[in-house]
Amino acid sequence: MWVEGRPWFTMWRGAFGRQAVLIQRPESILQALPVELDAVCALVDEEGRVVAGRKPVGITVVRVATESQLPWSLYITGSQGSGDLVMTARQRFILLGLGTVVVFLIAGTYFVARAIRREIAVSRLQSDFVSAVSHEFRSPLTAMRQLSEILALGRVRSEEQRQKYYETLVGETGRLQRLVETLLNFGKMDSGARHYRLEEIDAGDVVEGVVAEFAPQLAASGRGIELHRPPTTCPINADAEALALALRNLVDNALKYSPDQPAVVVEWGCENGAVAIRVRDRGMGIPVAEQRVIFEKFVRGRAAIAANVKGTGVGLAMVSHIVRAHGGEVRVMSAPGEGSTFTIVLPRSRIQTSEAP
Ligand code: ADP
């Protein structure tokens, strides 16, 4: 009922001569709606007058009097007035879906770009490797061809010169053989076909054997290898041939990358239950950023390339492979211009240490 222009909601019921009456402002019915609904609501009578609340604008859900079981129609809309609640939820869902798709697209693009970058880097390394190997083959082959032609045509002036040519031929053939063996060994390791036969050996024997192999090369260049022997033997479980190959690579590198230095140092010893073999030079050194990647196959340092030092970039990859197969690790300490120290650390064999003779 309307009293002085204001609507009132009244209800009454009578029984056994008693009468109960409820008189209420219609707003109190709207107040019963849950606050979290966050909606604009209105009760509108048959004549279109707003009995309670605010008549919503925009897309609105209407429940007429017969449906709402109230004397009025109920109008309800989202608080923004931009659409109904269902619509807002759908929009949120679509936005979330779109957001997820965009995130997946960005992540996918990033991973694909990274994979492509890696592929390009690997193929560049491989082509550098092929050209490095070709160069390594070309110079001994050229020398061998020229010398054998001179010898075959009998253009040698003296017996002494002939002997010198033969020695050069032997040297170059050895160089070629070492290169081929290096590549074959690397191929085997890379494909996982290299098997190791571990036996108990003295690390010192392997080191001294490898150092002795460099004697002719050192004699020719007037350089040397300083050996620092430990007071005890250092027994290890190792494949002597593979360990020698790893060590040969380290000594070869030390000599190659310190061309102006008179000597490199090789030392070994037993430290904290492990055997450490160290190769030290005072050569060009390696920047910290490169120290992490030089053990990967085909990787060559910038300084090495700039100084035109020959190499294929597989030596340290082999060293790392061999040492890991022995349950050890290879460490590098280096500073550009100051030199490098490579250390092979292997688990020590459990047999008793004896005094060296
Ligand atoms: P290679 O010597 O054939 O290039 P390696 O795998 O033996 O390949 O070495 C990888 C790179 O590590 C070298 O190109 C060089 O830049 C760097 N390197 C290795 N040993 C030394 C060293 N003793 N001194 C300076 N740089 C070194």
169 Cα–ligand 1 center, Å: 27
According to the CATH classification, is domain 87-190 in 3.40.50.880?
no
Per-residue model confidence (pLDDT) at position 86: 58
251 Cα–ligand 1 center, Å: 11
Pocket (CB within 6 angstroms of ligand 1): 249, 253-254, 257, 281, 283-286, 294, 299-301, 304, 311-317, 340
Q: What is the C-alpha to C-alpha distance for residues 186 and 197, in angstroms, rounded to an integer?
A: 17
Per-residue model confidence (pLDDT) at position 280: 98
5-40 tens-digit pLDDT: 888 888 888 888 888 888 888 888 778 777 666 778
- 48 Cβ contact list (under 8 Å, min separation 6): none
- Ordered alpha helix ranges (H), 35-84: 65-68
**Token pair recorded at residue 24:** 């209420």
Per-residue model confidence (pLDDT) at position 61: 82
Shortest-distance atom of ligand 1 to CA 303:
16
Among 247, 253, 323, 341, the mutation site with the greatest number of ligand 1 atoms within 8 A of its Cβ is 253
311 Cα–ligand 1 center, Å: 8
CATH 3.30.565.10 spans which residues of the chain? 195-347
Among 257, 260, 330, the mutation site with the greatest number of ligand 1 atoms within 8 A of its Cβ is 257
Residue tagged 């090495």 (tokens): 304
Q: How would you write the pLDDT of the chain (357 residues) with one tens digit per residue? A: 888 888 888 888 888 888 888 888 888 877 877 766 677 888 888 888 888 888 777 667 888 888 877 788 888 876 654 455 556 788 899 999 999 999 999 999 999 999 999 999 989 888 888 988 898 899 899 999 999 999 999 888 899 999 999 999 998 998 899 899 989 999 999 899 999 999 999 999 999 999 999 998 898 889 999 999 999 899 999 999 999 999 999 999 999 999 999 999 999 998 888 999 999 999 999 999 999 999 999 999 999 999 999 899 999 999 999 999 999 999 999 999 999 999 999 998 865 443 333
β-strand pairing of 18-24 with 6-7: unpaired
Per-residue model confidence (pLDDT) at position 107: 97
Residue tagged 């957001």 (tokens): 99
273 Cα–ligand 1 center, Å: 29
What is the rounded average pLDDT for all residues in the chain? 89
Determine the residue type at 86: V
107-142 tens-digit pLDDT: 999 999 999 999 999 898 888 889 888 988 998 999
Can you say whether residue 91 is alpha, beta or left, with left for phi > 0 and alpha for psi between -120 and 50 degrees? alpha
307 Cα–ligand 1 center, Å: 12
78 Cα–ligand 1 center, Å: 71
315 Cα–ligand 1 center, Å: 8
Residue with CA closest to ligand 1 atom 12? 294
Query: HEC string of the chain?
Result: CEECCEECEEEEEEECCEEEEEEECCHHHHHCCCHHHCEEEEEECCCCCEEEECCCCCCCEEECHHHHCCCCEEEEEECCCCCCHHHHHHHHHHHHHHHHHHHHHHHHHHHHHHHHHHHHHHHHHHHHHHHHHHHHHHHHHHHHHHHHHHHHCCCCCCHHHHHHHHHHHHHHHHHHHHHHHHHHHHHHHHCCCCCCCCEEEEHHHHHHHHHHHCHHHHHHHCCEEEEECCCECCEEEECHHHHHHHHHHHHHHHHHCCCCCCEEEEEEEEECCEEEEEEEECCCCCCHHHHCCCCCCCCCCHHHHHCCCCCCCCHHHHHHHHHHHCCCEEEEEEECCCEEEEEEEEEECCCCCCECC
**Integer angstrom CA distances of residue 131 from 64, 81, 135, 136:** 86, 72, 6, 9
Residue with CA closest to ligand 1 atom 21? 253
CATH 1.10.287.130 spans which residues of the chain? 87-190
Can you say whether residue 75 is alpha, beta or left, with left for phi > 0 and alpha for psi between -120 and 50 degrees? beta
Q: What is the C-alpha to C-alpha distance for residues 43 and 45, in angstroms, rounded to an integer?
A: 7
313 Cα–ligand 1 center, Å: 7
CATH architecture of the domain with range 195-347? 2-Layer Sandwich (3.30)
Shortest-distance atom of ligand 1 to CA 313:
8
Per-residue model confidence (pLDDT) at position 355: 37
Whole-structure pTM value: 0.68
Among 135, 250, 293, 300, the mutation site with the greatest number of ligand 1 atoms within 8 A of its Cβ is 300
**Token pair recorded at residue 357:** 């003779």
Residue with CA closest to ligand 1 atom 14? 300
